[in-house]
Amino acid sequence: MSDTDYTADEMMTVAASRALQNGQVCFVGIGQPSAAANLARQTHAPDVVLIYESGTLETRPDVLPLSIGDGELAETALTNVSVPEMFRYWLQGGRIDVGFLGAAQVDRFGNINTTVVGGTYLKPKTRLPGAGGAPEIATSARETFILLRQSPRAFVEKLDFITSLGHGTGGNSRAEAGAKTLGPTRLISDLCQMAPDPVTKELTVTTIHPGVTRDQIVAATGWDIRFADSVTETPVPESAELAVLREIHARTARAHAGQA
């Protein structure tokens, strides 16, 4: 298998996986965050502790869950606790190192919208699934990673609704709002990786995925995107990482088709 034979989604998942360190406690989301977290667990971070919103602690799924209520999570967990305990003791108690968040929209300061798009709150053009546990994850996990495909519809100048706090209006506004955690420290898209500027907290491109140009990133962003003084190329996925990731997806497909 060639290291250059990969998709944009695989690049994004691998980059997100590499951001997790061995031994960290990670609050995992469904979809690509789950794929990234379980790839990390099966490669460079075997002792990463995966926690899902339904109350499953140190779960080690063999296939990716369809939802937080998937039986695979409970069956492979070290233990299961109630949702109130999950949020009050584990998350709000400061016991989560990293929270993975997805979004429908994100702005330059890492604030997230998963509630409504267009119109008003009562009469939106599109009503989205809503907050779930994201607002608590965004403020209570020690840091958060945002995983999102990049386009002008998703990376917007102004959010239609702020569901989850990122860095507010920039600068010290997050802390001034009462949040005591770091907030978004990394955004991984299918084009690049971003991190907040140390002073302004504006998301700034730090690495560009192989084959992607700056013009592509600018065209896919709804604000005047900034680039760090030193921008590097994201390391390509390794053959071993791709093999593990593809086998995870293959097992999942077989299981959901009733062939596992």
Contacts of 58 (CB under 8 A, 6+ apart): 49, 50, 51, 77, 78, 79
Residues in the chain: 260
Q: What are the Cα distances from residue 102, in Å, to 72, 112, 131?
A: 21, 8, 11
Using CB atoms within 10 Å of the CB of residue 144, give its burial: 0 to 12 exposed, 13 to 18 middle, 19+ buried: buried
Alpha-carbon dihedral angle through residues 182, 44, 102, 225, given to the nearest 10 degrees: 70
Using CB atoms within 10 Å of the CB of residue 46, give its burial: 0 to 12 exposed, 13 to 18 middle, 19+ buried: exposed
75 is catalytic: no
Strand partners, 106: 112, 155
CA–CA–CA angle 26, 47, 85 (5° rounding): 40
- Look-up: residue for tokens 């709804």? 222
Q: How many CB atoms lie within 10 A of CB 255?
A: 16
Residue type, 184: P
Alpha-carbon gap, residue 229 to 101, rounded angstroms:
27
Of the candidates 10, 53, 136, 202, the residue annotated as catalytic is 53
List residues with catalytic annotation. Answer: 53
